[in-house]
Amino acid sequence: MSCAICEKHKEKRSCPAVHGRICPQCCGEQREVTLDCPSECVYLQQAREHEKPRPTEQLDQAALFPKVEIGDQFLYEQEHLILGLSYALAKSARANSSVRDSDLIAALTALARSYETLSNSGLVYETPIANLAHQAIAAEVQNMVKEYREAEQKHIGYSKLRDSDVFRALVFLLRMGMVRTSGRPKSRAFVDFLYRQFPEQESALAAAGEGGRIIVP
């Protein structure tokens, strides 16, 4: 039988994205491009095992907020914040199965720009987000920041979290997302990475309270 996509080559692989059998060539060329590959696909998993994180030099440097320095000291001091924000991203993706890496990256970019303005000028300016999925992701992240500050207020009597800290944490996660995604239109490599960090549903503050789970790209 011929491939369900090209109808030219012999089918050799079962493809859950098309609910049929396709040839290896179409699998390789169309994976996460035209095919919405589910995470459990064995061929997708095998491909990811051989893919290395994309070098930052090959990425759009302007999109990485290159002037922002994020050192080991910041990661150590703000580990709980970064874990909480990561959990919020994973939670938003679980709430909408159509969310892809590009959606998380777009929402993180918009949030980072807003917090950059806030931390530099004190002006509350939210970068317009037209996409509903991106709005939902941003709202989940903002809610986590709110809960984080409320938890600080409860435990130490005031919130010490600065907008500049949130900004840098968002930039860190944005860079991580851009390195970990395959860059293909339908890639969910970054989403699946977040799922592995938070395999079970738990509260954002519980996630932020667990140390040792952050992975630097």
pLDDT at 187 over 60: yes
**Predicted confidence (pLDDT) per residue in 78-137, tens digit:** 999 999 999 999 999 999 999 999 999 999 999 999 999 988 876 666 667 779 999 999
Domain count, the chain: 2
Taking CA atoms, 33 is separated from 27, 182, 185, in Å, by 10, 10, 5
Domain that holds residue 9: 1-50
Residue 120 CB coordination number (10 Å): 11
Query: Could you tell me if 101 and 169 lie in one domain?
Result: yes
42 neighbors 173 (Cβ within 8 angstroms): no
Whether residue 172 is contained in a domain is answered as: yes
Q: Kindly report the average pLDDT of the chain as a whole number.
A: 89
Q: Quick one: tokens of 31? A: 């994976």
Could you tell me if 117 and 184 lie in one domain? Answer: yes
Q: CA distances (Å), 116 to each of 121, 152, 163, 180, 186, in order?
A: 8, 22, 8, 23, 29
Two structure tokens written together for 17? 């994205």
Kindly report, residue by residue over 29-61, the tens digit of the pLDDT: 999 999 999 999 999 999 999 888 787 777 888
Q: Is residue 29, in this structure, part of any structural domain at all?
A: yes
Closest alpha carbon to 29 in 12, 51, 49, 5? 5
